[in-house]
Amino acid sequence: MVSKEWVEVMSKVTIPVDDLNRNVPPYKHNPSAWSQRIPICLLAFVAAAISAHLSLYQWGLIESSYDPVFGNSSNDVLTSDTAKTMYGILGIHDASLGVLAYLGDAILGFAGSTRRWQYRPWLVILFGIDVIPLGIVSVILVICQAFIVGEWCFLCLVTAAISLVLVYWAWDEVRVSLAYLRIVWAEHHDKRLLWDAVWGVRSEKLDAAGEQLLSREVR
């Protein structure tokens, strides 16, 4: 038989679905909601597929990359001295690295509940570390196309645009997770409690910090 104490513990741990989906100030939506994360994951899969195509060309497995706008210019970008320098530094083609990064975006985007901003901050932060630098790198690569290579790659521009959209969509969830951790630190100045908050450990103090964020006025 299940003890009464165990039932009481589980009743405290179990969170109603509606509670998990509460909107999080300063937004009028829940940044961890599936409606927010599924589009990110789908776009990331699209970008990964495009990067895989570009990677096949860089590895010499196909004769040419697809480009309906700039023609052979894409091939010149993918085999440019800049691309070769990056390969020498990283030990992997930039398009292949993009495949891994975008797949990481998709996997991390699907993981966790609709209140992972509080219950899995480490996951949200890792998600942000994968998404946001990727957007910055994409912008840098576009600048290199314009000012160093002097050629344009259509699919590279598409993935760069997707990266910026992913940053825009992912930032709100990262922001509220950091705001939650900031409340934990400001209220208690306890490194151990902050560490517990990062890893999603449940306690009355941490639940109170989450409620404090949820009770803020939306402006």
Task: Please determine, for residue 1, whether its predicted confidence score (pLDDT) is greater than 50.
Answer: no
User: Which of residues 117 and 218 earns the better pLDDT score?
Assistant: 117
pTM of the model: 0.85
Confidence of residue 135 (pLDDT cuts 50, 70, 90): confident
- Structural domain boundaries of the chain? 31-173
Confidence of residue 219 (pLDDT cuts 50, 70, 90): low
Task: Using a pLDDT cut of 90, give the percent of the chain over it.
Answer: 71
Task: Report the CATH number of the 31-173 domain.
Answer: 1.20.1440.130
Confidence of residue 6 (pLDDT cuts 50, 70, 90): very low
Pick the range with the lowest mean pLDDT from 25-29, 56-60, 61-65, 213-217: 213-217
Q: What is the pLDDT of residues 61-109, one digit of tens each?
A: 999 999 999 989 999 999 999 889 889 988 889 999 999 999 999 999 9
- Exposure letters 79-109 (e unless 16+ CB within 10 A, then b): ebeebeebeeeeeebbbbbbbebbbbbbebb
Pick the range with the lowest mean pLDDT from 95-99, 122-126, 140-144: 140-144
Q: What is the pLDDT of residues 15-53, one digit of tens each?
A: 554 578 899 999 999 999 999 999 999 999 999 999 999
pLDDT at 18: 52
State the average pLDDT for the chain: 88
